[in-house]
Amino acid sequence: MNRKEFLKSSCSGACVAMSSGFLMSALLAACKTPLGVIKTSADKDNMVVIPVSAFGQSDYKLVRVSNYNYDLAIQKKEDGTFFALVMMCTHASQPLTKTGNKYYCAMHGSQFTHEGEVIKGPAAQSMIRLSAVELKGNLYVHLRDL
Ligand code: FES
């Protein structure tokens, strides 16, 4: 390979790498959820505290707790109370993805309602539901060891 061929092949490789990087960032940007994600951590008693004001006008928040294997989907019910779902598939403990008004497991295709009930197996059990207690403007969610 002479110098001209080397430069030509190097440039095309770099251009492919740069364009794939550009495409990857565009794809990642497209994958961002329009829902706000709250990032937090649990205290020494495995309690997560989230200000109710973080919900604003929304009735749903995704909460990412550091050092916890699964996100929490916290939802406000029509009566004004809250509950939290652990975004873990009950079939083989894979993380779930929110798709529209459902939760989906990419591993084997289980689907759950927004309340955590099984729509489609192979999962046979509902998602794990945690209580979310509101007190003085904060929500308290006690994490379960999984
Ligand atoms: S792990 Fe979710 S369907 Fe199997």
Report which ligand 1 atom has the smallest distance to the Cα of 105. 2
Asked if residue 1 has pLDDT above 70, the reply is: no
What tokens appear for 133 in the block? 């207690």
Asked if residue 25 has pLDDT above 50, the reply is: no
Amino acid, res. 24? M
Question: φ, ψ for residue 75 (rounded to 5)?
Answer: -130, 145
- Both 44 and 23 in one domain: the answer is no
- Both 6 and 23 in one domain: the answer is yes
Report which ligand 1 atom has the smallest distance to the Cα of 96. 2
- Both 15 and 43 in one domain: the answer is no
Binding-site residues, ligand 1, Cβ < 6 A:
89, 91-92, 94, 105, 107-110, 122-123
- Both 66 and 135 in one domain: the answer is yes
User: Where in the sequence is the domain holding 17, given as residue range(s)?
Assistant: 1-32
- Both 4 and 59 in one domain: the answer is no
Strands (E) in the chain, as ranges, are 37-40, 47-51, 60-65, 72-76, 82-86, 97-99, 102-104, 111-113, 118-120, 129-135, 138-142
Give the residue, out of 86, 96, 107, 111, with the most ligand 1 atoms within 8 A of its beta carbon, to mutate for a pocket test.
107
- Both 87 and 15 in one domain: the answer is no
Q: What is the pLDDT of residue 86?
A: 96
What mean pLDDT is predicted for residues 119-134?
95
State pLDDT tens for residues 70-104.
999 999 998 989 999 999 999 999 999 999 899 99
Q: What is the pLDDT of residue 113?
A: 96
Contact in structure between 39 and 45 (CB atoms under 8 Å): no
Question: φ, ψ for residue 7 (rounded to 5)?
Answer: -65, -40
Range in 29-33, 123-127, 135-139 with the lowest mean pLDDT: 29-33
State pLDDT tens for residues 27-71.
333 334 445 789 999 999 899 999 999 888 888 999 999 989 999
